[in-house]
Amino acid sequence: MRPCKRVDLTEEQEATLKMWANSGKTEQRLALRAKVILLASQGLGVKAIEKVAGLHWQSCLKWRNRFMAAGIDGLYDKPGRGRPQVITPEERTGVIALACTTPVDGSTRWSVRKLAEVSGHGKSTVQQILAAGAIKPHKTHYWCGKSPDPEFEEKQAAIIGLYLSPPENALVLCVDEKSQIQALDRTQPLLPMRPDDPARLTATYKRNGTTCLLAALAVHEGEITGTCVDSANSREFLIFLKRLYRQYPHKQLHVIVDNLSTHKEGEVRKWVEKKKRLTMHFTPTYASWLNQIEIWFNIFSRDVLRGGVWPSKQALVNQILSYIKNYNQLWAKPFKWTYTGKPLTA
């Protein structure tokens, strides 16, 4: 019997081959070829490698010879293999242009299947074209559009100034409401989380009413004041403002709100004008993101509302108020200013 050719590896080659063979992210064909070479480096013949690697002995021989001739590079497929590309540049451009339009069937975005049907190409071909053009019809990114407010810069500067350098003896409060919070219950009990299984809810549910959360964030302390009401109207908003005014009797209050009509209603304006310790600041049009309470509402929605189950409206209200109490005791702190880009202008 002819002695088998032993493959000698450098330390670098051995490390690379082991990484390929053991990593779950390596292409399967490369991982298999790496395994063949590692076995060959142990002195195994192609027949023995075939039994261990599960690759035909002729393929084992091929990749062993390719490695001995060209090293690691010999394990890659040679360029130009496979069926020649039959799609023309014009057809590629057509698929990309089509993917950048709105479908005429009433849907809001294209799927690969729909693009394949309309363009006449296979789904795999469409996927390759989209990948090569970095086109992602399934994704949508949101951005802050340009505010039409003619006083955008002045209002923005005033609010950011309060965040960065508040006046002496002033308290900056960001106020807003989160309306129509539904107390959803499920028709079957929740199945708790266990290893390999997340918590499970039935798809069917029943509504037990809604509540609205009025909340104020003390910007430089991080504490939340909140109350739940049946309807977030101007009357409830005024009651909440009066509560904040009594809660901080020795502070100049700077209250930041958005342009909701509730915040500008006649009775609210009349009351605010009589209070020397209180100043209202309205965010520019379409720029309620300047109000830091929106950051907290996102945290609140993630922690409390997502996947919640409540047998009654009162159970929902109790949980909201309990969460606010615990938030103030355990986690409340000012949000850190991290924006380092260009100043925002209209």
Q: Which pLDDT tens digit goes with each residue over 322-343?
A: 999 999 999 999 998 776 666 6
Is pLDDT at 82 greater than 80 in this prediction? no
Edge-to-edge strand ranges of the sheet holding 170-186: 224-229, 205-218, 170-186, 252-257, 278-282
pLDDT given at position 1: 40
C-alpha torsion angle, residues 301, 302, 303, 308 (rounded to 10): 70
Binned at pLDDT 50, 70 and 90, residue 84 comes out as low
Cβ-contact 150, 115 below 8 angstroms: no
pLDDT given at position 346: 46
Long-range CB contact pairs, 116-125, < 8 A, 24+ = 119/91, 119/94, 119/95, 121/87, 121/91, 121/95, 125/87
Q: Which pLDDT tens digit goes with each residue over 240-279?
A: 999 999 999 999 999 999 999 999 999 999 999 999 999 9
pLDDT given at position 343: 60
Spatial CA neighbour of 225 closest among 313, 335, 321: 321
Higher-confidence position of 212 and 203: 212
Mean predicted confidence (pLDDT) in 144-162? 88
Is pLDDT at 15 greater than 90 in this prediction? no
Most confidently predicted of 22-31, 46-55, 83-92, 332-341: 46-55
Q: Which pLDDT tens digit goes with each residue over 154-184?
A: 999 999 999 999 999 999 999 999 999 999 9
Strands 170-186 and 224-229, bridge-based pairing: unpaired
Q: Across all residues in the chain, what is the average pLDDT?
A: 88
